Amino acid sequence: MRMIYAYTQHENTIRIIESTCNVAITRLRQDRSRDVVEDVLSQLPPNEPAILYAVMPLDRAVQLVQQAPWVRLRLLQLDGKVVESLTGRPYDPKTQYDDEVVRKALRVYEVKGGKIRYLAVDEFIRELAGKRVAVFNDAVRQAIGILAGETPIELVKTCEDSSCVEVNPLGFKSGYRISFSGTVGRLSPEQMAEVIRGGQARIYYLEVDAREAPLCP
Protein backbone atom coordinates (compact mmCIF):
# COMPACT_ATOMS: atom_id res chain seq x y z
CA MET A 1 0.00 0.00 0.00
CA ARG A 2 1.35 3.38 -1.00
CA MET A 3 1.75 6.09 1.63
CA ILE A 4 0.15 9.42 0.72
CA TYR A 5 2.02 12.70 1.22
CA ALA A 6 1.38 16.38 0.54
CA TYR A 7 3.83 19.15 -0.31
CA THR A 8 1.92 22.43 -0.37
CA GLN A 9 1.04 25.39 1.84
CA HIS A 10 -2.62 25.17 0.79
CA GLU A 11 -3.84 23.30 3.85
CA ASN A 12 -7.53 23.66 3.00
CA THR A 13 -6.94 21.80 -0.29
CA ILE A 14 -5.41 18.85 1.54
CA ARG A 15 -8.27 18.81 4.05
CA ILE A 16 -10.74 18.67 1.16
CA ILE A 17 -8.91 15.68 -0.35
CA GLU A 18 -8.78 13.90 3.02
CA SER A 19 -12.49 14.39 3.73
CA THR A 20 -13.67 13.64 0.18
CA CYS A 21 -11.49 10.57 -0.32
CA ASN A 22 -11.47 9.33 3.30
CA VAL A 23 -7.67 9.08 3.40
CA ALA A 24 -4.93 10.25 5.76
CA ILE A 25 -2.25 12.43 4.23
CA THR A 26 1.18 13.07 5.76
CA ARG A 27 2.30 16.69 5.36
CA LEU A 28 5.89 17.31 4.29
CA ARG A 29 7.71 20.38 5.55
CA GLN A 30 8.53 23.11 3.03
CA ASP A 31 11.98 24.68 3.23
CA ARG A 32 11.93 27.48 0.67
CA SER A 33 15.69 27.94 0.96
CA ARG A 34 16.23 24.51 -0.64
CA ASP A 35 15.64 23.21 -4.13
CA VAL A 36 12.13 21.71 -4.31
CA VAL A 37 13.24 18.29 -5.58
CA GLU A 38 15.96 18.02 -2.93
CA ASP A 39 13.53 19.16 -0.23
CA VAL A 40 10.89 16.56 -1.16
CA LEU A 41 13.22 13.60 -1.64
CA SER A 42 15.00 14.27 1.66
CA GLN A 43 11.69 13.59 3.43
CA LEU A 44 10.46 10.54 1.50
CA PRO A 45 11.68 6.98 2.15
CA PRO A 46 13.88 6.09 -0.84
CA ASN A 47 12.49 3.58 -3.36
CA GLU A 48 9.28 3.17 -1.35
CA PRO A 49 6.15 3.56 -3.53
CA ALA A 50 4.32 6.75 -2.59
CA ILE A 51 1.62 9.14 -3.78
CA LEU A 52 2.51 12.82 -3.53
CA TYR A 53 -0.03 15.65 -3.83
CA ALA A 54 1.98 18.79 -4.50
CA VAL A 55 2.15 22.35 -5.71
CA MET A 56 5.46 23.05 -7.43
CA PRO A 57 6.89 24.50 -10.65
CA LEU A 58 6.48 22.18 -13.61
CA ASP A 59 10.20 21.90 -14.38
CA ARG A 60 10.79 20.67 -10.83
CA ALA A 61 7.84 18.27 -11.14
CA VAL A 62 9.37 16.70 -14.25
CA GLN A 63 12.77 16.46 -12.55
CA LEU A 64 11.19 14.83 -9.50
CA VAL A 65 9.51 12.01 -11.44
CA GLN A 66 12.70 11.48 -13.44
CA GLN A 67 14.77 11.14 -10.28
CA ALA A 68 12.17 9.23 -8.24
CA PRO A 69 10.04 7.08 -10.56
CA TRP A 70 8.57 5.27 -7.54
CA VAL A 71 6.65 8.46 -6.66
CA ARG A 72 3.22 9.00 -8.25
CA LEU A 73 3.20 12.78 -8.48
CA ARG A 74 -0.25 14.39 -8.53
CA LEU A 75 0.06 18.14 -9.05
CA LEU A 76 -2.69 20.37 -7.69
CA GLN A 77 -3.76 23.40 -9.68
CA LEU A 78 -6.68 25.81 -9.49
CA ASP A 79 -8.28 26.68 -12.82
CA GLY A 80 -7.63 30.42 -12.99
CA LYS A 81 -10.61 31.09 -15.25
CA VAL A 82 -12.95 29.33 -12.81
CA VAL A 83 -11.48 31.25 -9.86
CA GLU A 84 -11.96 34.57 -11.63
CA SER A 85 -15.55 33.74 -12.58
CA LEU A 86 -16.35 32.82 -8.95
CA THR A 87 -14.55 35.68 -7.20
CA GLY A 88 -14.77 38.47 -9.76
CA ARG A 89 -11.08 39.22 -9.13
CA PRO A 90 -7.84 38.36 -10.97
CA TYR A 91 -6.50 34.92 -10.06
CA ASP A 92 -3.53 35.02 -7.67
CA PRO A 93 -1.81 31.63 -7.13
CA LYS A 94 -0.48 32.82 -3.74
CA THR A 95 -3.98 33.49 -2.35
CA GLN A 96 -5.67 31.02 0.01
CA TYR A 97 -9.16 30.74 -1.48
CA ASP A 98 -12.14 29.52 0.53
CA ASP A 99 -13.28 25.90 0.34
CA GLU A 100 -16.17 26.54 -2.05
CA VAL A 101 -13.87 28.11 -4.65
CA VAL A 102 -11.25 25.37 -4.22
CA ARG A 103 -13.79 22.56 -4.64
CA LYS A 104 -15.05 24.01 -7.92
CA ALA A 105 -11.71 25.11 -9.39
CA LEU A 106 -9.35 22.33 -8.24
CA ARG A 107 -7.72 20.21 -10.94
CA VAL A 108 -5.39 17.24 -10.37
CA TYR A 109 -2.77 16.17 -12.92
CA GLU A 110 -0.53 13.13 -12.74
CA VAL A 111 2.92 13.93 -14.13
CA LYS A 112 4.75 11.18 -16.02
CA GLY A 113 7.73 13.05 -17.44
CA GLY A 114 8.72 15.67 -19.98
CA LYS A 115 11.45 17.67 -21.70
CA ILE A 116 12.85 20.99 -20.45
CA ARG A 117 14.82 23.62 -22.40
CA TYR A 118 16.10 26.51 -20.26
CA LEU A 119 16.47 29.99 -21.77
CA ALA A 120 18.30 33.21 -20.94
CA VAL A 121 16.15 36.36 -20.81
CA ASP A 122 17.41 37.79 -24.10
CA GLU A 123 16.98 34.43 -25.82
CA PHE A 124 13.42 34.21 -24.51
CA ILE A 125 12.52 37.67 -25.83
CA ARG A 126 14.07 36.88 -29.24
CA GLU A 127 11.95 33.74 -29.53
CA LEU A 128 8.78 35.74 -28.79
CA ALA A 129 9.63 38.60 -31.17
CA GLY A 130 6.98 39.27 -33.79
CA LYS A 131 4.53 36.80 -32.25
CA ARG A 132 1.14 37.01 -30.57
CA VAL A 133 1.75 35.83 -27.01
CA ALA A 134 -0.97 34.82 -24.52
CA VAL A 135 -0.15 35.30 -20.82
CA PHE A 136 -3.11 34.77 -18.47
CA ASN A 137 -1.49 36.30 -15.36
CA ASP A 138 -1.73 40.10 -15.57
CA ALA A 139 1.51 40.86 -13.69
CA VAL A 140 3.57 38.36 -15.68
CA ARG A 141 2.16 39.71 -18.95
CA GLN A 142 3.10 43.27 -18.01
CA ALA A 143 6.56 42.16 -16.83
CA ILE A 144 7.25 40.52 -20.21
CA GLY A 145 6.23 43.77 -21.88
CA ILE A 146 8.77 45.63 -19.74
CA LEU A 147 11.49 43.10 -20.57
CA ALA A 148 10.66 43.25 -24.29
CA GLY A 149 11.33 47.00 -24.47
CA GLU A 150 11.13 47.94 -28.14
CA THR A 151 11.01 44.32 -29.33
CA PRO A 152 7.65 43.89 -31.09
CA ILE A 153 5.55 41.36 -29.14
CA GLU A 154 1.74 41.38 -29.14
CA LEU A 155 0.76 40.44 -25.58
CA VAL A 156 -2.80 39.28 -24.84
CA LYS A 157 -4.49 37.63 -21.84
CA THR A 158 -6.02 34.65 -23.67
CA CYS A 159 -6.15 33.26 -27.16
CA GLU A 160 -8.82 30.83 -28.34
CA ASP A 161 -7.04 29.52 -31.43
CA SER A 162 -3.64 28.07 -32.28
CA SER A 163 -2.18 31.36 -33.55
CA CYS A 164 -0.69 32.28 -30.16
CA VAL A 165 2.40 31.27 -28.29
CA GLU A 166 1.61 30.80 -24.58
CA VAL A 167 3.62 31.71 -21.49
CA ASN A 168 2.60 29.93 -18.27
CA PRO A 169 -0.34 28.27 -20.00
CA LEU A 170 -3.17 27.07 -17.80
CA GLY A 171 -3.21 23.34 -17.26
CA PHE A 172 -0.30 21.31 -18.56
CA LYS A 173 0.01 22.31 -22.18
CA SER A 174 3.46 22.61 -23.71
CA GLY A 175 4.75 26.15 -23.74
CA TYR A 176 7.08 28.72 -22.27
CA ARG A 177 7.10 29.06 -18.49
CA ILE A 178 8.57 31.43 -15.95
CA SER A 179 9.08 30.04 -12.44
CA PHE A 180 10.16 32.18 -9.52
CA SER A 181 12.20 31.21 -6.48
CA GLY A 182 10.13 30.04 -3.52
CA THR A 183 11.49 32.93 -1.47
CA VAL A 184 10.00 35.54 -3.83
CA GLY A 185 6.77 37.09 -2.55
CA ARG A 186 4.15 39.14 -4.36
CA LEU A 187 5.71 41.47 -6.90
CA SER A 188 4.57 44.35 -9.05
CA PRO A 189 5.20 43.95 -12.80
CA GLU A 190 8.22 46.25 -12.52
CA GLN A 191 9.67 44.25 -9.63
CA MET A 192 8.93 41.00 -11.45
CA ALA A 193 10.81 42.19 -14.54
CA GLU A 194 13.76 43.16 -12.34
CA VAL A 195 13.76 39.74 -10.63
CA ILE A 196 13.65 37.93 -13.98
CA ARG A 197 16.42 40.09 -15.43
CA GLY A 198 18.48 39.50 -12.27
CA GLY A 199 18.37 35.72 -12.71
CA GLN A 200 16.05 34.97 -9.78
CA ALA A 201 13.55 33.23 -12.04
CA ARG A 202 13.85 30.26 -14.38
CA ILE A 203 12.66 30.65 -17.97
CA TYR A 204 12.13 27.46 -19.95
CA TYR A 205 10.19 25.77 -22.70
CA LEU A 206 8.49 22.66 -21.40
CA GLU A 207 6.93 19.67 -23.08
CA VAL A 208 5.21 17.81 -20.26
CA ASP A 209 3.66 14.35 -20.20
CA ALA A 210 0.74 14.78 -17.78
CA ARG A 211 -2.89 13.75 -17.70
CA GLU A 212 -5.84 14.95 -15.69
CA ALA A 213 -6.49 12.55 -12.82
CA PRO A 214 -9.37 11.98 -10.40
CA LEU A 215 -9.17 13.73 -7.05
CA CYS A 216 -8.91 10.51 -5.04
CA PRO A 217 -5.85 8.23 -5.31
Q: What is the pLDDT of residue 82?
A: 93
* Domain range annotation of the chain: 3-114, 117-208
Residue 132 β-bridge partners: 154
| Residue 110 · residue 211 · CB < 8 Å | yes
Angstrom distance (rounded) from CA 71 to CA 54 = 12
pLDDT tens, per residue, the chain with 217 residues: 789 999 999 999 999 999 999 999 999 999 988 999 999 999 999 999 999 999 999 999 999 999 999 999 999 999 988 999 999 998 887 788 999 999 999 999 999 999 999 999 999 999 999 999 999 999 999 999 999 999 999 999 998 878 899 999 877 788 999 998 765 667 899 999 999 999 989 999 999 999 999 999 8
Domain 3-114 has CATH 3.40.1360: yes
For 70, residues 6+ apart whose C-beta sits below 8 A from its C-beta are: 47, 48, 49, 50
Measured in degrees and rounded to the nearest 5, phi and psi for residue 210 equal -145, 150
Task: Report the predicted TM-score, pTM, of the whole model to 2 decimal places.
Answer: 0.84
* pLDDT reported for residue 54: 97
Q: Are strands 154-156 and 165-167 parallel, antiparallel or unpaired?
A: unpaired
